[in-house]
Amino acid sequence: MDSVVLPTLTKKEEIDRIINNTIDKVLVLRFGRISDQNCLLLDDILEKSARDVSKFATVALVDVESEQVQVYVKYFDITLFPSTVFFFNAHHMKLDSGTADHTKWVGKFYEKQDFIDVVEVIFRGAMKGKMIVHCPLPPERIPKYQLLYKDV
Amino acid sequence: MEEKKKKKKPSKKSEFEFCKVCRFHHDQGPRHKYFPRHKELLSAFLNRFRSKIADVRFFLKNPSILRPQEESQNRVWCVFCDEDIVEIGSSFACSKAINHFASSEHHKNIKQFLWKHGPSMDCVDDFQISDADVAKWVRKCTALGNKDASSCRGQLSGTSNDIQNNIEFERSEKVQTHFINPNDLNDVKPLQYYTNEYQISHSGVSHYGSQLNVGASHLPPGVIGITSSSSSHSSDASGNVHSGAPPPWLTPSDVNIFSGQLNQSDMTRVQEKIPAKTSKLNPHRVGAAWAERRKIEMEMEKRGLAVHSNIDADWLPNFGRVWQSGTRKSSRKEFEKEKRKLVKTDSISLESEERKLVKTENISMESEEPVQIQPYISKRARREKSGE
C-alpha cells in the first residue's frame, strides 16, 4: 500500500529531479527495501505522517535494490537499512542525534510524532540557515547502532 | 501629414478573426501573435498538447492491446487539425492517433499553425511522430498480434488470480508482523553482544554478508530496527558524504535538468511575473539563492521555454583569439587549424620547421606554444610603418 501513497524512486534521475524540484521544503528520502520488516514499519510511520507534514516536507522512498541508485547509496554510505536522509533546497541537512553518524537517521522512528518532530526541527533550522540541527528526541527513542571498523 | 495618418489607420485595422489560442475575436491582424498575452496562452496551449502526445508516445514505445470496452475512452483531440481521433475498430491502443501524428497532413497543419500563431518552427518535431518510430511500432505490434487472442483471455483470469494472491500475501504479512511484535518490545538491548547469531535469533535483524570483513561499516549490536547490507561498496574511490565529495545530484550527468544556460533577459522577464510571496521567507535560509534561481528555471520549463544547453566543449566565439591583422574569422580558422594539428602528433617535425618560418614572418601567425605577447599596435601606426 505504501508505494501507492508515497512515490518510490528507483532511478538516479528520479532522485535528482525530486531533490532539484523540492523548493523551500524538507525532502525526506528513505533508503531501504520493501522486503524488509523494519523498513515496512518505518514506511508505515512515514506514510501516516506524510500528510501532516505536507506543508513543509515531502517524503519519498528509495529502493536500494535498484542498480541505478547505487550512486546515492554509495554517496551517503548507506550500510544499514532503513536509513533516512534529509534535504532542504538541494542541500543535505545533518542531524546530530548523539550517534556517530550525523548525515542520516539510521533505523526506524518509534512513533509518528517522533518523525514529525524531527522533520519540524530540521525545517525550522533550515529556515534559520542552519545546516545541522540537534535531535529533539530523548536518547531512549533514538535507535542505537555502532560503527565497527576493520581490525578494531 | 494628417491626411497620410488618416490613410494609414484604416489599413492597420484588419478584419476580425478568431484566435484559437486566446479564444476570442480580434482585429489585430498578423501582429496578434506577438502579444504577450497570446504568447503566454500559446505556451500553455502547446504544453497541454505536449502532455497528450507524451501519452501517445508511451504507447508507441510499448504497444498494448486495446480492449473493446475501452475503445470509446481512448480518444485524442488533435488541436492542429481540429479533429477528434477516436480509436474505434483499432486493435492496439492509440494506433489511429499514432498514424495520424505521423501523417503528412498533420505535419502540414502543424506548420500552418506555427506560422499563424506559433513561437518558431523548430518545435515541429515535438508534435509529430517520425516514420522510423512508426515502423518500429508496427513491428512490435505484429509480434504482439501473434499472442493476441491467447493473452486477452489470460488477462481476465490472471487478474482474478492476482487478487487472490494479494489477499493471501497480505494475510501472511500480517501473521509475520504479529509474530515479530513481541520482539519489538524489548528494543533497548545491552550492547555487549556482537555475534550474528544473537541478533538473528533474538531481534529479527537480517544480515547480508559477513560483517567483520567489511571496511568501515556499521554493525548493529543487538538492536532492532536496522538491517545491514553486505557492504560491497566499502571500497569507495569516489568519496562520499563524510569525505565531502560533490553530491551526485549536482554532477554534470544531469545537465539537461539542472544547469541550463539561461538568457538573462528571459530570466528577468519571468522573475517579474512570479509573485513576491517568497519575500516573506528568511533570505538567509539554507539554499535561498539556489531556490530563487531554481524557481525561475522551473517556471520557464513549465512554459515550454525549454532550457536546452546544447553547448559542447568545442564551442568558440566567432573569433578565436586576440588578433592583430586580418579578420576575426581568420583568427578562429587559424585556431581550429592548430587544434587539428595538435591531434596529429606525427606532424611535430613539420611544425617546428614552420615555427622558424613564422618567426621570420613575424606577427600574422602568432602560433604554437611560445606565444609572444606583444603590445597592440594600432592599424594606423602599422600602416605608417609600412608606408615608411
B205–A24 CB contact, under 8 Å: no
Kindly report the nearest CA distance between residue A102 and chain B, in angstroms. 9
Report the pLDDT value the prediction gives residue B357, as an integer from 0 to 100: 47
The CA-atom distances, in angstroms, between A113 and each of A24, A25, A88 are 22, 19, 20
A111's torsion region: left (phi>0), alpha (psi -120 to 50) or beta? beta
Give yes or no for A128 touching B (CB within 8 A): yes
Report the pLDDT value the prediction gives residue B227, as an integer from 0 to 100: 58
Most confident of B138-142, B182-186, B384-388: B138-142
B240–A76 CB contact, under 8 Å: yes
Average pLDDT of chain A is 87
Report the pLDDT value the prediction gives residue B315, as an integer from 0 to 100: 62
B286–A80 CB contact, under 8 Å: no
- pLDDT tens for each residue of B43-95: 888 888 888 888 888 888 888 887 777 777 777 888 888 888 888 777 788 88
- Residue of B140 and B328 predicted with greater confidence: B140
Report the pLDDT value the prediction gives residue B253, as an integer from 0 to 100: 52
Report the pLDDT value the prediction gives residue A147, as an integer from 0 to 100: 61
Most confident of B132-136, B162-166, B265-269: B132-136
Give yes or no for A132 touching B (CB within 8 A): no
Which of B238, B240, B285 is nearest residue A127 as measured by Cβ atoms? B285
Report the pLDDT value the prediction gives residue B138, as an integer from 0 to 100: 86
Kindly report the nearest CA distance between residue A116 and chain B, in angstroms. 19
For an interface test with A, which of B179, B241, B298 has the most A Cβ atoms less than 10 Å from its Cβ?
Answer: B241
Average the pLDDT over each of B9-13, B113-117, B139-143, B145-149 and give the range with the smallest value. B9-13
Report the pLDDT value the prediction gives residue A18, as an integer from 0 to 100: 92
Please give the grid coordinates belonging to residue B239. Answer: 568519496
Give yes or no for A36 touching B (CB within 8 A): yes
B284–A103 CB contact, under 8 Å: no
- pLDDT tens for each residue of B222-235: 444 565 554 444 44
Report the pLDDT value the prediction gives residue A53, as an integer from 0 to 100: 92
CA angle A24, B259, A83 (to 5 degrees): 50
pLDDT grade for B153, boundaries at 50, 70 and 90: very low
- pLDDT tens for each residue of A96-123: 988 888 888 998 899 999 999 999 999 9
Whether the predicted pLDDT of B128 surpasses 70: yes
Report the pLDDT value the prediction gives residue B220, as an integer from 0 to 100: 43
- % of chain B surpassing 70 pLDDT: 52
For an interface test with B, which of A9, A29, A37 has the most B Cβ atoms less than 10 Å from its Cβ?
Answer: A37
The CA-atom distances, in angstroms, between B139 and each of B56, B66, B74, B143, B203 are 17, 17, 22, 6, 54
- pLDDT tens for each residue of B183-200: 343 333 333 334 333 333
Q: ipTM more than 0.90? A: no
Please give the grid coordinates belonging to residue B64. Answer: 498494448
Kindly report the nearest CA distance between residue B311 and chain A, in angstroms. 21
A128–B290 CB contact, under 8 Å: no
Average pLDDT of chain B is 66
Cα–Cα dist A112/B234, whole Å: 33
Report the pLDDT value the prediction gives residue A127, as an integer from 0 to 100: 93
Pairing of strands A105-106, A83-88: antiparallel
Report the pLDDT value the prediction gives residue A28, as an integer from 0 to 100: 95
Count contacts between A and B (CB, < 8 Å).
166
DSSP string for residues in A93-110: EEEE-SSS--SSEES--S
pLDDT grade for B175, boundaries at 50, 70 and 90: very low
Whether the predicted pLDDT of B176 surpasses 60: no
Average the pLDDT over each of A46-50, B156-160, B363-367, B370-374 and give the range with the smallest value. B156-160
For an interface test with B, which of A70, A74, A87, A137 has the most B Cβ atoms less than 10 Å from its Cβ?
Answer: A74
Report the pLDDT value the prediction gives residue A45, as an integer from 0 to 100: 92
Pairing of strands A132-134, A91-96: parallel
